Structure 1
Amino acid sequence: MSLLKLVGVLLDYPQDELWQHGDELVAAAADPGLTGARRQQLVDFTRELLAKDPLAAQDQWLSMFDRGRSMSLLLFEHIHGESRDRGQAMVDLIEAYRKNGFELSAKELPDYLPLLLEYLDQRPLAEARDWLHHVSHIVGLLAARAGERQSPYAVLFEILVEFAEGKLELGALRQRASEEPRDDTPEVMDRLWEEEAVRFGTEAPDESCSPPTRTPARHAATRQVQP
């Protein structure tokens, strides 16, 4: 299993199949292309994740990535927010996938980071690095935010930035992350739900009616974990 595929699997919502392939994942984490320190960090992360009860691991993932938007794994949320530009960006990305024979299921959103990594795993190395380089400013900020929250997931984002041959200025990014208001607290989540509540009557609901969280049903973990 390649490094990109492994990181995509580990970043994805941890479904039961993850534990069925535990030995393979730990072996892949000892990637010889990583520095000794990074290799050990990745092996430790993988082992610690697999040591968790699946329900506990899933709850940890939801707390990290599905509460608020600042840690969203949907890349275009960080670029376009809820603007109409996001829709066109989605269409363009789907076309890029299809052009290279990569088809999505109906439940998959094309800008979902683990899915993008699965696609890039099938592309030439230079192309994969170039794609990740273009989103490394987002991935680097996710690394800083995860680190600020003392999440073990931070190492996965840091590895992706380094894979893209980008420089991690974690000090500056951590400073920025520490100054950002948290958007995953119960108070903020309640306020978002109130602001985005579905309207009734003659006014038809639009995209703003969508809740701020997203269901893990869109993930492709089963396909990704398969060797």
Structure 2
Amino acid sequence: MLLLKVISHLLDYPTQALFDAKDELLCVVEQSDISVETQTGLTGFICELTQRDLYDVQESYDLLFDRGRALSLLLFEHVHGESRDRGQAMVDLMNVYKANGFEVDSSQLPDYIPLYLEFLSLQTPEFIQEWLGDISHILTMLSERLKERDCYYKVLLDSLIEVSGVEVERAEIAQAVSKEERDDTVEAIDKEWEDREIRFDDPAVGQCPSAGIQQSQNALDPNTVHQVPIKWHEADAAQVSGL
């Protein structure tokens, strides 16, 4: 599905090559089997993005996605945080890529959303819907956080949700997001980097390092929103076990 490849490039770090491919991107969107509203939103995003100065766009991108964890484009950041499970999930996902003939030629981690979309763009429509459906709650969460910041990147996440065909309870996720504290402010970043006071009566002392690491405060709260781990389907599991 070429549309996923287009959205993958639009969610990735903006480059001159992306700007130069504007007409090709618009052509794919206009020929895609999506709603008129989504098509209009995507074409508007592409036009607005590419008419800006590239360096300004790159700076805005860095401030948006690389400052704080709330809008991280790493899927497992929102599922596992800094827990040990994240490493195994990375291995599992990489094995699924290999089992399906997808060679990763990138320095990015396997759960980087643009890379995940690149992989899905080569799969069948049924596979695409199921695997996008697996992360639909994460996509909705990111969309709602972008909405809170009045950011036009929101249309990219909403387009993926439409392709997934999943009906997500947005109201519940929106309510949870509305109660979050921003983690991209100077104060929040300073607090994140503060040295924690060492107390020898702290029960966490003596545990393995990962046991004392908490997930991002902006991760989905399982008490308010269902966390949806990425599922590995039986066919893929069988392929992976044979590697």
Q: Which residue of 2 is the match for residue 71 of structure 1?
A: 71
Segment of structure 1 superposing worse, 27-36 or 78-87: 27-36
- The alpha carbon displacement at 1:192 in A equals 1.5
The amino acid that maps onto 1:30 is E
Deviation per residue, 1:104-161 (Å, 9 max, x gap): 2361200000000000000111011111101111111111111111000111111111
Distance 1:66 1:125 in 2: 31
Q: Which residue of 2 aligns with 1:80?
A: 80
**Structure 1 residue 195 displacement after superposition:** 4.0
- Residue 105 of structure 1 pairs with residue 91 of structure 2: no
Range 27-36 or range 72-81, more displaced: 27-36
RMSD, aligned CA: 2.1
Answering whether residue 171 of structure 2 is matched by residue 171 of structure 1, we say yes
Instruction: Specify which structure has the higher proportion of helix.
Output: 1
2: CA distance between counterparts of 1:31 and 1:193?
47
Q: What CA distance in whole angstroms lies between the structure 1 residues aligned with 2:29 and 2:116?
A: 19
CA shift digits 1:49-77 (9 cap, x unpaired): 11111111111111111111111000000
1:120-159 matches, within 5 Å, as: 120-159=120-159
The equivalent residue for 1:8 is 8
Could you say which residue in structure 2 is the equivalent of 1:186? 186
* Partner in structure 2 of residue 50 of structure 1: 50
CA distance in 1, matches of 2:148, 2:17: 30
Residues 158 and 168 in structure 1, CA contact (< 8 A), matched pair in contact too: no
8 Å contact from structure 1 (residues 148, 174) kept in 2: no
CA distance in 2 between partners of 1:105 and 1:74 (Å):
17
Q: Across the two proteins, how many residue pairs are aligned to each other?
A: 201
Compared CA separation, residues 51 and 101, structure 1 to 2 (3 A)? same
Give the gaps of 5 or more residues in structure 1: 197-205, 213-227
Amino acid at match of 2:75: L
- Whether 1:21 aligns to 2:21 is yes
Determine if contact 1:29/1:46 at 8 Å carries over to the other structure: no
Distance apart, 1:81 and its partner CA: 0.4
Q: TM-score, normalised by structure 1?
A: 0.83
Determine if contact 1:78/1:138 at 8 Å carries over to the other structure: yes
The match for 1:96 is 96
Q: Is the 8 A contact 1:141 1:173 kept in 2?
A: yes
Identity %: 43
Letter in 1 for 2:115: L
